[in-house]
């Protein structure tokens, strides 16, 4: 069985998604919806990381149950310095890029959850299937949030 490999990839992807959501929330903290909802839904991915690490032991994987957490201080300083020096001349376009990145990463995580659910069902691994049923709906909500924010902001930003 390759369920351990799928769990390892999902663990990495959820960590990456949580990190991206926290980074986007920080970068766009003047937009309260992006800041607060981004942080809230990042917590879902952080919780998923812990759940994945816990069940992965049953499949021979030793994954870190602690999510990555907040973006590093140096990363924040570098980002701020780049913004000030003009790397991103249009903050609105940066928002679209960031939301697109979140949407793409969340969509990829959703596919990983779907693949894992199919594998768990095929291997008759009930506990693993239950984890997918608990976590995947939250990932789908992350995808819908990013997609909705893209639709809400794209016209105004691209036409202005």
Is the per-residue pLDDT at 83 higher than 70?
no
CB neighbours (10 Å) of residue 148?
12
The domain 3-159 having CATH identifier 1.20.1260: the answer here is yes
Alpha-carbon distance of 50 to 99, in angstroms, equals: 25
| Burial degree of 106 (CB within 10 A; 0-12, 13-18, 19+) | buried
Is the per-residue pLDDT at 86 higher than 90?
no
Q: What's the whole-number average pLDDT of the chain?
A: 90
The per-residue pLDDT for 81 is 46
Indicate the range of 3-17, 72-86, 107-121 predicted with least confidence.
Answer: 72-86
Q: What is the mean pLDDT of residues 2-28?
A: 97
The per-residue pLDDT for 91 is 83
Is the per-residue pLDDT at 76 higher than 80?
no
* DSSP assignment of 32-70: HHHHHHHHHHHHHHHHHHHHHHHHHGGGT----SS---S
pLDDT digits (tens, 9 = 90+) for 130-145: 999 999 999 999 999 9
Indicate the range of 7-21, 62-76, 92-106, 141-155 predicted with least confidence.
Answer: 62-76
pLDDT digits (tens, 9 = 90+) for 30-41: 999 999 999 999
pTM of this structure? 0.87
CB neighbours (10 Å) of residue 128?
23
Give how far Cα 52 sits from Cα of 14, 72, 116, Å: 9, 23, 11
Q: Of 3, 19, 1, give the one whose Cα is nearest residue 113.
A: 3
Higher pLDDT, 85 or 95: 95
Indicate the range of 85-94, 134-143, 151-160 predicted with least confidence.
Answer: 85-94
Residue ranges of the domains in the chain? 3-159
Query: Contact at 8 Å (CB) between 42 and 21?
Result: yes
CB neighbours (10 Å) of residue 160?
7
């Amino acid at each position: 069985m390759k369920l351990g490999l799928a769990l390892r990839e999902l663990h990495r992807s959820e960590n990456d998604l949580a990190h991206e959501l926290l980074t986007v929330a920080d970068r766009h903290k003047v937009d309260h919806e992006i800041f607060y909802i981004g942080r809230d839904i990042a917590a879902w991915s952080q919780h998923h990381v812990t759940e994945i690490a816990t069940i992965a032991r049953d499949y021979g994987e030793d994954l870190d149950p602690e999510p990555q957490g907040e973006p590093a201080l140096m990363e924040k300083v570098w980002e701020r310095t780049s913004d000030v020096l003009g790397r991103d001349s249009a903050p609105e376009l940066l928002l679209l890029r960031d939301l697109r990145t979140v949407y793409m990463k969340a969509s990829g995580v959703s596919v990983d959850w779907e693949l894992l659910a199919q594998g768990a069902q095929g291997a008759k691994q009930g506990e693993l299937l239950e984890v997918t049923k608990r976590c995947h709906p939250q990932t789908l909500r992350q995808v819908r949030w990013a997609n909705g924010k893209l639709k809400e902001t794209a016209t105004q930003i691209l036409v202005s």
